[in-house]
Amino acid sequence: ARLVAVGTGGRQYARDFIEERGIPYLVLIDKTLESHGKIGIAEGPKLGVLRPRVLWAALKAFLAGNRQGKTGPNPFKYGAAHVIGPGGRLHYAWLNDDYHDNAPLDELLEAAARASGRQLAA
């Protein structure tokens, strides 16, 4: 199994992202957003970052010690998480429905374990 991130910035942005966050896995770049179009990632409204649930999620993250890094060139694109196994088989797909949204980590890890033929430790 291999973990890969796909970002929407340029090479220097990707280098900064990797260094700033200590990313230990491969980061690919999709400046044209072709991958976003293929899987149907939405773009949110610019004022959507001011929605109460988004602000609440940001406050909770801040209080937990998380800090947002440098904003990339496409800050209004929602995120997504996919688990793609051998042969290109899609094992899991998640499209964020808001700025604060993320795939449930337990679901994502379980799908990754299944795709790699492993069991998660209890």
3-class DSSP assignment, residue 7: strand
* Angstrom distances, CA of residue 32 to CA of 4, 36, 38, 72: 18, 9, 12, 14
Within a domain: 121: no
CB distance 27 to 17 below 8 Å: yes
Within a domain: 119: no
Give the span between the Cα atoms of 91 and 103, in whole angstroms.
14
Give the span between the Cα atoms of 58 and 61, in whole angstroms.
5
* Angstrom distances, CA of residue 34 to CA of 38, 40, 98: 6, 10, 20
> Rounded to two decimals, what is the model's pTM?
0.72
Within a domain: 122: no
> What's the pLDDT score for residue 64?
93
> What's the pLDDT score for residue 94?
92
User: What is the number of structural domains in the chain?
Assistant: 1
Within a domain: 44: yes
For the chain, 122 residues long, give each residue's pLDDT as a single digit of tens. 678 888 888 888 889 889 988 989 889 988 888 888 888 888 888 888 888 988 898 899 899 998 877 777 778 888 899 998 888 888 999 999 888 888 999 999 999 888 888 877 76
Within a domain: 120: no
What residue numbers bound the domain in which 72 lies? 4-113
